[in-house]
Amino acid sequence: MVHEFKNGIFDTNKNPSPQALQSVAAMCFKVISPLAFRNRAFDASAFVSFTMCLARLRGDTKLFELALSSYPIALRCFRSYINMVVLDRSKMSIHIDVLMAISIALQFFEWLADGGPAGKGYRGHISGALDLLKMSGPRVMQTSVSRYLFTGIRHSVLWVALSERKATFLAKDAWITLPYQLSIKSAGEVLLDFLLRIPGLLDRADNITRLSSEEVRAEAGKGEDQSHEAVTFCHISKFFRDCDELVQEADSWMENLEKSEVGPLWWYSKTNYAAAETSLPLECKSCISLSNGKINFARPNIASLLITYWGGMLELFSAIVEVRDLLYNSHMDTVPPLDSIYSSMSMPKDRPTKYALRIYQTAMYLSSGLEGCTIAYGSLLVAAKHFGKQHENAELNCNGISLVESKEQDVNSLGIACCKQALGILLNTMHCGNPAASS
């Protein structure tokens, strides 16, 4: 089973299609497979993860039930192993590779068993992995095995932190630099460096919204402190400053990625793809036509990098628009204008929606294989949330709607329908029509 999983499922030489991608999960499993038959706890976790994956790929109900029934044993073995290591933390560096390998295997099991990253078990394993990292510190993650496992954890944490809109300690300098001191970062690892800072900015945007609420402003006005408006403006100014810095890093990353290719990274085909694809629902064809055709990529790996990039930056750009609108509507007449200071203030308001449309199209591009689905799922959830929130906001302000706003609402409605359809396709692909998928 280990041999089949390692050399068959994730073998891009045997699967040369655009969906035969090297996801973070695939890279991690290629690294941890040689650890088999050396540690009982790892063997148990690898068994349930590999079995669940094969069950999904084959649509095999018996394998699915075997994986589920074996899972409690894997959990008990993992907990016993953790307890042993915790008793002597001085040896954490010896055990960290195996601990992280077990955690990732169990995360993958929960992902496939529970249909994505929203499950309680999946998030529980992410939280546990973060606790282990805190105990070990960043310096022990410098071996070749640790590096891939750590990158896998970072990728998983990104989507959880974005959904929770809370800062993660993995965005701190020590965790960005020390684990990679003995190696050269890949484009994907550099991408995670700045994307992991976005959840902290979302947290700050939410705090600014709270400070600017009528209730908080009224309460502040009752006290002796008359500087509430100035304090709020200071938070806003620092927010835009840090957003500008991150966007500059993102632009630099994109420039370097473009230099690595002879031609464009991605483009839209000139053919009428929406009309040609008879299997697509009408609303999805309309959504595709908004972006002038089918999306294409220079290499399969470019698609995986860009959909992750667009997903993270969509969250950031949406937060920028929200804080900017809040500033314009706050009647802060005593504060200086920020338009000439921060480039975020002049960012096109429709940029988040453009990114959301690209994410949808890229998710469809990646949707026919397990690898592509695991890559696309997190970003597609972000796109779906964007369209839903835009639609909700428009509904609240429907009086006196202009022609332009009406068109935007049509795009949002199409986006909601298309993302819902695409999420269903991704889940169906991950489950391969398995009747046990709804268990």
- Per-residue 3-state assignment (H helix, E strand, C coil) for 111-130: HHHHCCCCCHHHHHHHHHHH
Eight-state DSSP code of residue 295: E
Asked whether residue 113 is domain-assigned, the answer is yes
Range of the domain at 433: 262-298+348-438
Length of the chain: 439
Asked whether residue 13 is domain-assigned, the answer is yes
Q: Is there a single domain that holds both residue 153 and residue 8?
A: yes
> Hey, is 47 helix, strand or coil?
helix
Q: Is there a single domain that holds both residue 11 and residue 135?
A: yes
Q: Is there a single domain that holds both residue 142 and residue 278?
A: no
Q: What is the reported pLDDT for 155?
A: 93
Angle at which helix 198-211 crosses helix 144-164, to 10 degrees, equals 20
Q: Which residue type, as a one-letter code, is found at position 108?
A: F
CA 391 vs CA 210, 385, 407: distances in Å? 22, 10, 11
Q: How many CA atoms lie within 13 A of 331 on its CB side?
A: 3
Alpha helices of 165-292 — where are they, by DSSP H?
173-177, 187-195, 198-211, 214-222, 228-259, 273-276, 282-289
Asked whether residue 55 is domain-assigned, the answer is yes
Asked whether residue 292 is domain-assigned, the answer is yes
Q: What is the reported pLDDT for 55?
A: 86
Residue that finishes a domain, picked among 166, 182, 211: 166
Q: Is there a single domain that holds both residue 160 and residue 270?
A: no
Q: What is the reported pLDDT for 214?
A: 59
Cα–Cα distance between 419 and 380 in angstroms, integer? 7
Residue that finishes a domain, picked among 166, 182, 210: 166
Name the helix (H) or strand (E) containing 419.
helix 403-431
Q: Is there a single domain that holds both residue 293 and residue 400?
A: yes
Show the tokens assigned to 354.
């453009």
Q: Is there a single domain that holds both residue 141 and residue 281?
A: no
> Hey, is 261 helix, strand or coil?
coil
Mean pLDDT, contiguous 10-residue spans, the chain (439 residues): 50 42 64 80 92 84 94 95 84 86 91 77 92 90 85 93 96 95 92 98 94 63 60 88 97 96 88 54 59 82 95 97 85 63 90 94 88 89 94 64 57 88 84 48
Cβ atoms of 425 and 367 within 8 Å: the answer is: yes
Cα–Cα distance between 146 and 143 in angstroms, integer? 5
- Number of C-beta neighbours around residue 15 at 10 A: 15
Q: Is there a single domain that holds both residue 133 and residue 271?
A: no
Nearest one of 25, 310, 18 to 10, comparing CA atoms: 25
Q: What is the reported pLDDT for 427?
A: 82
Asked whether residue 85 is domain-assigned, the answer is yes
Q: What is the reported pLDDT for 14?
A: 43
Asked whether residue 229 is domain-assigned, the answer is no
Residue that finishes a domain, picked among 133, 151, 166: 166
Q: Is there a single domain that holds both residue 149 and residue 288?
A: no
Alpha helices of 59-197 — where are they, by DSSP H?
61-86, 92-114, 120-136, 144-164, 173-177, 187-195
Domain count, the chain: 2
Q: Is there a single domain that holds both residue 162 and residue 277?
A: no
Q: What is the reported pLDDT for 354?
A: 93
Q: What is the reported pLDDT for 21?
A: 53
Asked whether residue 24 is domain-assigned, the answer is yes
Q: Is there a single domain that holds both residue 161 and residue 266?
A: no
Q: Is there a single domain that holds both residue 159 and residue 266?
A: no
Asked whether residue 185 is domain-assigned, the answer is no
Whether the CA torsion 83, 86, 91, 94 is positive or negative: it is positive
